[in-house]
């Protein structure tokens, strides 16, 4: 028995409950959404890494360099003051003032980037140091108090300079430590992004492989079963059990239609086989009756010849002729009844053949619609394959961001090289960022392989659908051939029905002629003087009856031939 899956609106939807289009679109949508999420996460993560790296390069590194310059500036200015005391040249004093202006500019820039209590205290102490140098050292030296100026330079000025140098070294160390900590945070964040990207890639590959296998099995197995069943139907095998499927998509509807078609064809062929056997039996009875009628007609003709030989012979044979006529009337009645039964059976066969022809036409139309549906499905799978190619574009964007990160890491390494000893820690951070960018580039290569595998699976699904489509085309061709066979059967049955109607007309004419003959014989028996006229009329009727019998015999032979051809066509099917 065929199992029908009735849909319950409250039933939880499963994969088999979706349409073919829904399965394909849903599967590729899941892969595309996961790929977009992975791309978005990578873009956001790399943007954050780039922003933090840029902050280190443009702000923290510049502050570190400024603090180192301020430390060196103090030392250089102390050296210039000593040179001025030794050589007495104003150019050393002018250079001191230039470095003082440079120091003040660096202090303003440093406060703008990092305004805290320690920085402000150092700036205030630096201003105090500059004031002491100006008032108690340079002016004292210029006014002739060189000993006092030297003592102040070696005492308060040098001590305060050492404090400032240590303070700027402390700020530089703190800044370098902060840069290293920020670099470690960037590296950890990049590693997290890389690990999560790998996890996303593995998930996408697993889901892609699962969906590809699931869709391929869901499409190819039922299609191959349908093609096998259609081949069996085209070969006349109608006795197979109905196909069973839990799918509720277009393929499930197709399987249901094939089962219905198989069942309808089985019933039609059985009806035609029964009608063919009935026609064969009726044609045999008709042949027997026509032979008996022909023999009776020949006997009547012989009797008419004997009647024409003389009135005496006519009188003696009148009783025999009456008995013979009674048997003839009985045979004609039986033949007429058989003719009516054959006509009724032929009408039923014609009706069944017309029903079968209509169902076969509907099956041909259904196969054409299935052909169009499979062709449309192949086109949609190819279109989805093109959309999966867009994932490669997103991967190229991520590759571009990784290249920019690598370039930014190179620039950071250059700036760290400029910073010298204080940029060593940042150089390590820049190298880690560069390595992270290279890891991302390698991950991009893996992602490209993953996308290639997904597209390969998509192409295999498209190829399987193409093979299924070719099998459907073969099935449609087989159904068309079966339809042509039913057209031939219908033509044979229509011809047979026409001949049966002709036979029925001839039998009615024979009945009328037999009645005339019976009346003629009665007239011969009752009125001897009208024997000559009755004999002539009876002879004419006998001749006409003989011709009708020959025509009936010919039609019966044709009916027997048509019945044999119909039986051969029906025997092609197994039911």
* Percent of residues, the chain, with pLDDT higher than 90: 2
Q: What is the pLDDT of residue 572?
A: 66
Q: What is the pLDDT of residue 11?
A: 37
Q: Check whether 575 has a pLDDT greater than 60.
A: yes
Give mean pLDDT, residues 21-36. 76
Average pLDDT, the chain: 74
- Alpha carbon distance 349, 343 (integer Å): 10
In three-state secondary structure terms, 553 is: helix
Give mean pLDDT, residues 479-502. 73
Of residues 17 and 559, more confidently modeled:
559
Q: What is the pLDDT of residue 191?
A: 85
Pull the structure tokens for residue 525.
């028996």
In three-state secondary structure terms, 574 is: strand
- Alpha carbon distance 514, 333 (integer Å): 10
Q: Check whether 550 has a pLDDT greater than 60.
A: yes
Q: Check whether 143 has a pLDDT greater than 60.
A: yes
Q: Check whether 5 has a pLDDT greater than 60.
A: no
Q: Are residues 161 and 78 in contact, defined by beta-carbon separation less than 8 angstroms?
A: yes
Give mean pLDDT, residues 19-28. 71
Q: Check whether 367 has a pLDDT greater than 80.
A: no
Q: What is the pLDDT of residue 51?
A: 73
Pull the structure tokens for residue 166.
């240590």
Q: Check whether 296 has a pLDDT greater than 60.
A: yes
Q: Check whether 90 has a pLDDT greater than 70.
A: yes
Q: Which of 199, 207, 206, 210 is nearest to 41 (CA)?
A: 199
Give mean pLDDT, residues 105-123. 81
Alpha-carbon torsion angle 47, 48, 51, 55, nearest 10? -160
- Alpha carbon distance 415, 574 (integer Å): 89
- Alpha carbon distance 116, 114 (integer Å): 6
Give mean pLDDT, residues 530-546. 65
Q: Check whether 534 has a pLDDT greater than 70.
A: no
Kindly report, residue by residue over 179-199, the tens digit of the pLDDT: 788 778 888 888 888 898 888
Query: pLDDT tier at 404 (50, 70, 90 boundaries)?
Result: confident
Q: Check whether 205 has a pLDDT greater than 80.
A: yes
In the block, residue with structure tokens 């059990």: 241
DSSP string across 67-99: HHHHHHHHHHHHHHHHHHHHH--HHHHHHHHHH
Q: What is the pLDDT of residue 228?
A: 83
SS3 content of the chain, % helix, strand, coil (to 5): 90, 0, 10
Q: What is the pLDDT of residue 9?
A: 38
Give mean pLDDT, residues 504-523. 70
Give mean pLDDT, residues 288-317. 64
DSSP string across 290-340: HHHHHHHHHHHHHHHHHHHH-HHHHHHHHHHHHHHHHHHHHHHHHHHHHHH
Exposure pattern of 208-217 as b/e (b: 16+ CB <10 Å)? beebbeebbe
Count of CB atoms situated within 10 Å of the CB of 522: 14
Q: What is the pTM of this model?
A: 0.43
Q: Check whether 4 has a pLDDT greater than 60.
A: no
Query: pLDDT tier at 316 (50, 70, 90 boundaries)?
Result: low
Q: Check whether 8 has a pLDDT greater than 50.
A: no
Q: What is the pLDDT of residue 538?
A: 67
In three-state secondary structure terms, 13 is: coil
Burial of 494 (C-beta count, 10 Å sphere; 0-12/13-18/19+): middle
Kindly report, residue by residue over 430-469, the tens digit of the pLDDT: 677 777 777 777 777 777 777 677 677 777 767 776 777 6
Query: pLDDT tier at 96 (50, 70, 90 boundaries)?
Result: very high
In three-state secondary structure terms, 1 is: coil
8-22, 84-98, 389-403 — most confident range: 84-98
DSSP string across 95-149: HHHHHHHHHHHHHHHHHHH---HHHHHHHHHHHHHHHHIIIIIIHHHHTT-HHHH
């Amino acid at each position: 028995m065929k199992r029908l899956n009735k849909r319950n609106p409250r039933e939880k939807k499963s994969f088999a409950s979706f349409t073919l289009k829904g399965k394909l679109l849903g599967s590729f949508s899941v892969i595309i959404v996961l790929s977009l999420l992975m791309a978005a996460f990578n873009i956001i993560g790399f943007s954050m890494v780039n922003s933090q790296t840029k902050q280190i390069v443009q702000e923290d590194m510049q502050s570190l360099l400024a603090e180192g310059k301020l430390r060196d500036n103090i030392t250089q200015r102390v050296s210039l003051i000593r040179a001025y005391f030794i050589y007495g040249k104003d150019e050393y004093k002018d250079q001191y003032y230039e470095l003082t202006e440079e120091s003040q500019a660096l202090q303003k820039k440093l406060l703008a980037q990092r305004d805290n209590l320690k920085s402000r205290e150092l700036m205030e102490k630096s201003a105090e140091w500059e004031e002491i140098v100006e008032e108690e050292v340079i002016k004292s030296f210029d006014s002739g108090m060189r000993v006092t100026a030297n003592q102040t330079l070696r005492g308060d000025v040098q001590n305060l300079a050492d404090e400032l140098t240590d303070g700027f070294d402390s700020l530089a160390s703190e800044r370098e430590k902060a840069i290293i900590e920020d670099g470690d945070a960037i590296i950890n964040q990049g590693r997290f992004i890389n690990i999560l990207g790998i996890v996303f890639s593995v998930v996408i590959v697993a889901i892609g492989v699962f969906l590809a296998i699931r869709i391929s099995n869901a499409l190819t197995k039922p299609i191959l079963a349908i093609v096998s069943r259609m081949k069996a139907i085209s070969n006349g095998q109608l006795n197979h059990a109905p196909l069973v499927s839990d799918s509720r998509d277009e393929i499930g509807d197709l399987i249901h239609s094939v089962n219905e078609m198989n069942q309808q064809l089985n019933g039609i062929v059985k009806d035609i086989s029964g009608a063919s056997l009935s026609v064969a039996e009726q044609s045999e009875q008709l042949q027997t009756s026509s032979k008996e009628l022909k023999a009776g007609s020949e006997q009547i003709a012989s009797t008419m010849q004997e009647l024409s030989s003389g009135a005496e012979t006519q009188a003696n044979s009148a009783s025999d002729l009456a008995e013979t006529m009674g048997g003839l009337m009985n045979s004609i009645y039986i033949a007429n009844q058989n003719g009516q039964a054959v006509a009724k059976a032929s009408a039923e066969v014609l009706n069944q053949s017309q029903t079968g022809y209509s169902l076969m036409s509907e099956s041909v139309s259904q196969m054409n619609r299935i052909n169009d549906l499979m062709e449309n499905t192949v086109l949609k799978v190819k279109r989805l394959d093109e959309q999966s190619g867009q994932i490669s574009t997103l991967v190229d964007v991520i590759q571009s961001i990784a290249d920019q990160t690598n370039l930014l890491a190179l620039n950071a390494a250059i700036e760290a090289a400029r910073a010298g000893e204080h940029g060593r820690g940042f150089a390590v951070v820049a190298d880690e960022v560069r390595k992270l960018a290279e890891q991302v580039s390698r991950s991009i290569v893996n992602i490209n392989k993953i996308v290639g595998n997904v597209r390969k699976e998509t192409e295999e699904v498209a190829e399987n659908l193409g093979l299924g489509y070719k099998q459907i085309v073969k099935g449609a061709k087989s159904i068309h051939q079966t339809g042509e066979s039913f057209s031939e059967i219908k033509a044979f049955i229509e011809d047979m029905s026409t001949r049966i109607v002709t036979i029925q007309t001839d039998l009615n004419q024979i009945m009328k002629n037999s009645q005339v003959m019976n009346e003629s014989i009665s007239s011969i028996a009752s009125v001897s003087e009208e024997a000559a006229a009755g004999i002539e009329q009876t002879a004419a009727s006998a001749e006409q009856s003989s011709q009708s019998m020959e025509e009936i015999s010919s039609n019966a032979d044709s009916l027997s031939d048509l019945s044999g051809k119909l039986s051969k066509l029906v025997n092609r099917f197994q039911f």
